[in-house]
Amino acid sequence: MDTIEVVLSVSVRLMVPLLLAALGELISERAGIMNIGLEGFMTAGAFVAFAVAFGGWPVGMAIVIAAVAGLVVSALMAMGAVWLRGNAILVGFALFVMVPGLANFLYVEQLSQGATPKLSAYSVPILDQIPVVGKALFTQNVFYWLAIGLCVLVYLLFSRTQLGLIITATGHEPEAVRKRGHSPRWIQTGAILACGALAGLGGAALSLGAVGSYQPNIINGRGLIVIAIVILGRWTVLGAIGGAFLIALLEALKLRVSQDSDIPIQLLGALPWIVVIVMLLVSTRMRSNAPRTLTQ
Protein backbone atom coordinates (compact mmCIF):
# COMPACT_ATOMS: atom_id res chain seq x y z
CA MET A 1 0.00 0.00 0.00
CA ASP A 2 1.32 3.47 -0.84
CA THR A 3 1.28 6.43 1.53
CA ILE A 4 -2.13 7.76 0.45
CA GLU A 5 -3.78 4.36 0.89
CA VAL A 6 -2.19 3.88 4.32
CA VAL A 7 -3.25 7.33 5.53
CA LEU A 8 -6.78 6.87 4.19
CA SER A 9 -7.14 3.42 5.77
CA VAL A 10 -5.90 4.66 9.15
CA SER A 11 -8.18 7.71 8.89
CA VAL A 12 -11.27 5.55 8.37
CA ARG A 13 -10.31 3.31 11.27
CA LEU A 14 -9.81 6.29 13.59
CA MET A 15 -12.98 7.98 12.32
CA VAL A 16 -15.31 5.19 13.47
CA PRO A 17 -15.03 5.76 17.27
CA LEU A 18 -15.57 9.50 16.79
CA LEU A 19 -18.51 8.96 14.45
CA LEU A 20 -20.33 6.50 16.73
CA ALA A 21 -20.01 8.86 19.69
CA ALA A 22 -20.98 11.84 17.50
CA LEU A 23 -24.22 10.12 16.46
CA GLY A 24 -25.12 9.72 20.12
CA GLU A 25 -24.20 13.30 20.98
CA LEU A 26 -26.20 14.47 17.98
CA ILE A 27 -29.34 12.80 19.36
CA SER A 28 -28.73 14.22 22.82
CA GLU A 29 -28.07 17.78 21.65
CA ARG A 30 -31.08 17.69 19.35
CA ALA A 31 -33.09 17.04 22.51
CA GLY A 32 -31.42 20.00 24.23
CA ILE A 33 -28.76 18.29 26.39
CA MET A 34 -25.04 18.77 25.83
CA ASN A 35 -23.07 15.88 27.33
CA ILE A 36 -19.80 17.15 28.75
CA GLY A 37 -19.59 13.68 30.33
CA LEU A 38 -19.19 12.06 26.91
CA GLU A 39 -15.56 11.29 27.77
CA GLY A 40 -16.81 9.13 30.64
CA PHE A 41 -19.35 7.34 28.42
CA MET A 42 -16.65 6.44 25.89
CA THR A 43 -14.18 5.41 28.58
CA ALA A 44 -16.71 3.03 30.11
CA GLY A 45 -17.29 1.38 26.75
CA ALA A 46 -13.59 1.18 25.93
CA PHE A 47 -12.60 -0.34 29.27
CA VAL A 48 -15.47 -2.81 29.57
CA ALA A 49 -15.09 -4.00 25.96
CA PHE A 50 -11.38 -4.58 26.51
CA ALA A 51 -11.92 -6.39 29.81
CA VAL A 52 -14.57 -8.70 28.32
CA ALA A 53 -12.55 -9.50 25.18
CA PHE A 54 -9.32 -9.87 27.18
CA GLY A 55 -11.14 -12.36 29.41
CA GLY A 56 -11.79 -14.60 26.42
CA TRP A 57 -15.44 -13.75 25.75
CA PRO A 58 -16.69 -13.36 22.15
CA VAL A 59 -16.20 -9.98 20.54
CA GLY A 60 -19.95 -9.69 19.95
CA MET A 61 -20.55 -9.99 23.68
CA ALA A 62 -17.90 -7.35 24.34
CA ILE A 63 -19.63 -4.95 21.94
CA VAL A 64 -23.04 -5.43 23.56
CA ILE A 65 -21.68 -5.02 27.09
CA ALA A 66 -19.77 -1.89 26.03
CA ALA A 67 -23.02 -0.32 24.85
CA VAL A 68 -24.68 -1.27 28.14
CA ALA A 69 -21.77 0.22 30.11
CA GLY A 70 -22.12 3.53 28.27
CA LEU A 71 -25.86 3.44 28.86
CA VAL A 72 -25.42 2.89 32.61
CA VAL A 73 -23.06 5.86 32.93
CA SER A 74 -25.41 8.01 30.86
CA ALA A 75 -28.25 7.06 33.23
CA LEU A 76 -26.33 8.91 35.95
CA MET A 77 -26.20 11.93 33.66
CA ALA A 78 -29.93 11.71 33.00
CA MET A 79 -30.72 11.37 36.69
CA GLY A 80 -28.59 14.33 37.71
CA ALA A 81 -29.26 16.72 34.83
CA VAL A 82 -32.86 15.91 33.87
CA TRP A 83 -34.67 14.44 36.86
CA LEU A 84 -32.84 16.19 39.73
CA ARG A 85 -32.49 19.37 37.63
CA GLY A 86 -28.78 19.70 38.37
CA ASN A 87 -26.47 21.80 36.24
CA ALA A 88 -25.82 19.65 33.15
CA ILE A 89 -22.30 21.05 32.73
CA LEU A 90 -21.32 20.20 36.31
CA VAL A 91 -22.92 16.76 36.24
CA GLY A 92 -21.19 16.00 32.96
CA PHE A 93 -17.85 17.27 34.25
CA ALA A 94 -18.15 15.00 37.30
CA LEU A 95 -18.56 11.99 34.99
CA PHE A 96 -15.75 13.34 32.79
CA VAL A 97 -13.38 13.06 35.76
CA MET A 98 -14.82 10.14 37.73
CA VAL A 99 -15.28 7.42 35.09
CA PRO A 100 -11.81 7.61 33.48
CA GLY A 101 -10.26 7.69 36.95
CA LEU A 102 -12.19 4.58 38.00
CA ALA A 103 -11.33 2.78 34.76
CA ASN A 104 -7.63 3.60 35.17
CA PHE A 105 -7.69 2.29 38.74
CA LEU A 106 -9.40 -0.97 37.76
CA TYR A 107 -7.04 -1.46 34.85
CA VAL A 108 -3.93 -1.07 36.99
CA GLU A 109 -5.30 -3.24 39.82
CA GLN A 110 -7.05 -6.02 37.91
CA LEU A 111 -5.72 -6.27 34.36
CA SER A 112 -2.25 -6.81 33.00
CA GLN A 113 -1.11 -5.20 29.79
CA GLY A 114 -2.10 -7.11 26.72
CA ALA A 115 -3.91 -7.06 23.42
CA THR A 116 -7.34 -8.23 22.38
CA PRO A 117 -7.97 -10.67 19.51
CA LYS A 118 -7.59 -9.08 16.08
CA LEU A 119 -10.96 -8.31 14.55
CA SER A 120 -11.85 -9.85 11.22
CA ALA A 121 -12.23 -7.51 8.26
CA TYR A 122 -15.32 -7.81 6.06
CA SER A 123 -15.05 -6.84 2.40
CA VAL A 124 -17.50 -5.90 -0.32
CA PRO A 125 -16.53 -7.92 -3.42
CA ILE A 126 -15.43 -5.93 -6.46
CA LEU A 127 -15.73 -2.59 -4.62
CA ASP A 128 -12.77 -3.47 -2.42
CA GLN A 129 -10.60 -3.59 -5.55
CA ILE A 130 -11.15 0.09 -6.41
CA PRO A 131 -7.74 1.80 -6.54
CA VAL A 132 -6.72 3.93 -3.55
CA VAL A 133 -10.08 3.96 -1.72
CA GLY A 134 -11.21 0.35 -2.14
CA LYS A 135 -9.48 -1.18 0.88
CA ALA A 136 -10.15 1.80 3.13
CA LEU A 137 -13.88 2.07 2.39
CA PHE A 138 -14.87 -1.50 1.63
CA THR A 139 -12.58 -3.70 3.77
CA GLN A 140 -13.11 -2.89 7.42
CA ASN A 141 -14.04 -4.51 10.73
CA VAL A 142 -17.49 -4.84 12.26
CA PHE A 143 -17.45 -1.39 13.89
CA TYR A 144 -17.17 0.34 10.52
CA TRP A 145 -20.19 -1.43 9.10
CA LEU A 146 -22.08 -0.90 12.33
CA ALA A 147 -21.33 2.83 12.12
CA ILE A 148 -22.63 2.98 8.53
CA GLY A 149 -25.87 1.27 9.53
CA LEU A 150 -26.35 3.58 12.50
CA CYS A 151 -25.70 6.66 10.34
CA VAL A 152 -28.54 5.58 8.08
CA LEU A 153 -30.85 4.92 11.04
CA VAL A 154 -30.14 8.25 12.73
CA TYR A 155 -30.56 10.10 9.44
CA LEU A 156 -33.93 8.43 8.89
CA LEU A 157 -34.89 9.11 12.51
CA PHE A 158 -34.63 12.87 12.06
CA SER A 159 -35.76 13.11 8.43
CA ARG A 160 -38.56 10.57 8.22
CA THR A 161 -40.09 9.87 11.63
CA GLN A 162 -42.38 11.64 14.05
CA LEU A 163 -40.11 10.65 16.94
CA GLY A 164 -37.27 12.59 15.33
CA LEU A 165 -39.48 15.65 15.02
CA ILE A 166 -40.47 15.36 18.69
CA ILE A 167 -36.82 15.08 19.77
CA THR A 168 -35.89 18.14 17.71
CA ALA A 169 -38.90 20.09 19.02
CA THR A 170 -37.85 19.25 22.58
CA GLY A 171 -34.49 20.88 21.96
CA HIS A 172 -36.15 24.03 20.63
CA GLU A 173 -39.49 24.42 22.43
CA PRO A 174 -40.01 21.93 25.30
CA GLU A 175 -43.15 23.73 26.44
CA ALA A 176 -44.75 23.24 23.02
CA VAL A 177 -43.91 19.53 23.22
CA ARG A 178 -45.47 19.32 26.68
CA LYS A 179 -48.67 20.97 25.44
CA ARG A 180 -48.96 18.27 22.77
CA GLY A 181 -48.99 15.58 25.43
CA HIS A 182 -45.34 14.48 25.42
CA SER A 183 -42.96 14.60 28.35
CA PRO A 184 -39.75 16.56 27.61
CA ARG A 185 -38.10 14.85 30.58
CA TRP A 186 -38.67 11.36 29.19
CA ILE A 187 -37.64 12.43 25.70
CA GLN A 188 -34.40 13.94 27.00
CA THR A 189 -33.80 10.89 29.16
CA GLY A 190 -34.17 8.59 26.17
CA ALA A 191 -31.86 10.80 24.11
CA ILE A 192 -29.17 10.76 26.81
CA LEU A 193 -29.43 6.97 27.16
CA ALA A 194 -29.11 6.57 23.38
CA CYS A 195 -26.08 8.85 23.51
CA GLY A 196 -24.53 6.71 26.24
CA ALA A 197 -25.05 3.47 24.31
CA LEU A 198 -23.59 4.88 21.10
CA ALA A 199 -20.67 6.49 22.95
CA GLY A 200 -20.01 3.14 24.64
CA LEU A 201 -19.84 1.57 21.18
CA GLY A 202 -17.46 4.36 20.16
CA GLY A 203 -15.18 3.54 23.07
CA ALA A 204 -15.26 -0.15 22.15
CA ALA A 205 -14.47 0.74 18.54
CA LEU A 206 -11.35 2.51 19.82
CA SER A 207 -10.05 -0.14 22.23
CA LEU A 208 -11.04 -3.21 20.19
CA GLY A 209 -11.10 -1.93 16.63
CA ALA A 210 -8.67 0.97 16.18
CA VAL A 211 -6.05 0.23 18.87
CA GLY A 212 -6.54 -3.41 19.83
CA SER A 213 -5.72 -2.82 23.49
CA TYR A 214 -6.50 -0.56 26.43
CA GLN A 215 -4.33 2.01 28.14
CA PRO A 216 -5.09 4.59 30.84
CA ASN A 217 -6.77 7.73 29.48
CA ILE A 218 -7.26 6.05 26.11
CA ILE A 219 -10.02 8.46 25.09
CA ASN A 220 -7.63 11.40 25.58
CA GLY A 221 -10.05 14.26 25.04
CA ARG A 222 -12.00 12.68 22.20
CA GLY A 223 -15.23 13.28 24.09
CA LEU A 224 -14.73 17.04 23.84
CA ILE A 225 -13.69 16.74 20.19
CA VAL A 226 -16.91 14.84 19.47
CA ILE A 227 -18.96 17.68 20.96
CA ALA A 228 -17.11 20.09 18.67
CA ILE A 229 -17.74 17.78 15.70
CA VAL A 230 -21.49 17.86 16.33
CA ILE A 231 -21.47 21.66 16.57
CA LEU A 232 -19.31 22.06 13.47
CA GLY A 233 -21.54 19.60 11.64
CA ARG A 234 -24.56 21.85 12.30
CA TRP A 235 -26.33 19.05 14.19
CA THR A 236 -26.68 16.87 11.08
CA VAL A 237 -25.60 13.30 10.33
CA LEU A 238 -23.68 14.29 7.20
CA GLY A 239 -21.94 17.03 9.15
CA ALA A 240 -20.96 14.52 11.84
CA ILE A 241 -19.51 12.18 9.22
CA GLY A 242 -17.50 14.98 7.63
CA GLY A 243 -16.23 16.33 10.95
CA ALA A 244 -15.27 12.89 12.27
CA PHE A 245 -13.36 12.09 9.08
CA LEU A 246 -11.53 15.43 9.13
CA ILE A 247 -10.31 14.95 12.71
CA ALA A 248 -9.38 11.31 12.00
CA LEU A 249 -7.45 12.39 8.90
CA LEU A 250 -5.48 14.88 10.98
CA GLU A 251 -4.69 12.14 13.51
CA ALA A 252 -3.58 9.78 10.74
CA LEU A 253 -1.36 12.46 9.22
CA LYS A 254 0.08 13.13 12.66
CA LEU A 255 1.05 9.47 13.02
CA ARG A 256 2.52 9.33 9.51
CA VAL A 257 4.43 12.61 9.67
CA SER A 258 5.86 11.78 13.12
CA GLN A 259 7.51 8.71 11.57
CA ASP A 260 9.02 10.55 8.61
CA SER A 261 10.09 13.90 10.09
CA ASP A 262 11.70 15.58 13.06
CA ILE A 263 8.65 17.73 13.89
CA PRO A 264 7.91 17.46 17.66
CA ILE A 265 5.11 14.98 18.35
CA GLN A 266 3.59 17.44 20.86
CA LEU A 267 3.06 19.98 18.09
CA LEU A 268 1.48 17.40 15.82
CA GLY A 269 -0.74 16.23 18.67
CA ALA A 270 -2.14 19.73 19.04
CA LEU A 271 -3.06 19.95 15.35
CA PRO A 272 -6.62 18.50 15.66
CA TRP A 273 -7.38 20.88 18.53
CA ILE A 274 -6.06 23.88 16.59
CA VAL A 275 -8.23 23.00 13.60
CA VAL A 276 -11.29 22.52 15.85
CA ILE A 277 -10.77 25.95 17.47
CA VAL A 278 -10.34 27.66 14.10
CA MET A 279 -13.45 25.99 12.69
CA LEU A 280 -15.48 26.87 15.77
CA LEU A 281 -14.44 30.51 15.39
CA VAL A 282 -15.46 30.42 11.73
CA SER A 283 -18.76 28.73 12.55
CA THR A 284 -19.77 31.59 14.85
CA ARG A 285 -20.22 33.74 11.74
CA MET A 286 -22.56 31.22 10.16
CA ARG A 287 -26.30 31.02 10.67
CA SER A 288 -26.87 28.54 13.48
CA ASN A 289 -29.62 25.96 13.77
CA ALA A 290 -28.58 25.01 17.29
CA PRO A 291 -31.29 23.70 19.61
CA ARG A 292 -32.33 26.74 21.63
CA THR A 293 -32.27 25.00 25.01
CA LEU A 294 -28.53 24.27 24.66
CA THR A 295 -27.86 27.92 25.52
CA GLN A 296 -30.24 28.03 28.48
**Is the confidence at residue 122, as pLDDT, over 60?**
yes
pLDDT of residue 128: 86
Q: Look up residue 39 and give its amino acid.
A: E
**Which pTM value belongs to this model?**
0.92
Q: Give the Cα separation of 296 and 285 in Å (integer).
A: 20
* CA–CA distances in Å: residue 206 to residues 191, 279, 286, 290: 23, 25, 32, 28
Query: Phi-psi category of 212—alpha, beta or left, where left has phi over 0 and alpha has psi -120 to 50?
Result: left
* CA–CA distances in Å: residue 17 to residues 51, 59, 150, 263, 288: 18, 16, 12, 27, 26
Helix, strand, coil share (%) of the chain residues, nearest 5: 75, 0, 25
Kindly write down the DSSP assignment for every residue of 219-248, as one continuous string.
STTHHHHHHHHHHHTTT-HHHHHHHHHHHH
* Residue 220 binned pLDDT confidence (cut-offs 50, 70, 90): confident
End-to-end CA distance of the chain: 50
Q: Mean pLDDT across the chain, nearest whole number?
A: 88
Kindly report which listed range (26-30, 138-142, 265-269) carries the lowest average pLDDT score.
Answer: 265-269
Kindly report which listed range (3-12, 80-89, 115-124, 142-151) carries the lowest average pLDDT score.
Answer: 115-124
pLDDT of residue 292: 79
Q: Give the Cα separation of 212 and 218 in Å (integer).
A: 11
* Residue 102 binned pLDDT confidence (cut-offs 50, 70, 90): very high
Q: What's the Rg (C-alpha) of the chain?
A: 19
DSSP state of 263: S
pLDDT of residue 142: 94
CATH code matching the domain that covers 3-295, chosen among 1.10.10, 1.10.3470, 2.40.10, 1.20.1250:
1.10.3470
pLDDT of residue 56: 83
**Is the confidence at residue 260, as pLDDT, over 70?**
no
Nearest to 185 by CA among 172, 195, 170: 170
The residue extents of the domains of the chain are 3-295
Secondary element (H or E) of residue 123: strand 122-123
- Count of CB atoms situated within 10 Å of the CB of 221: 12
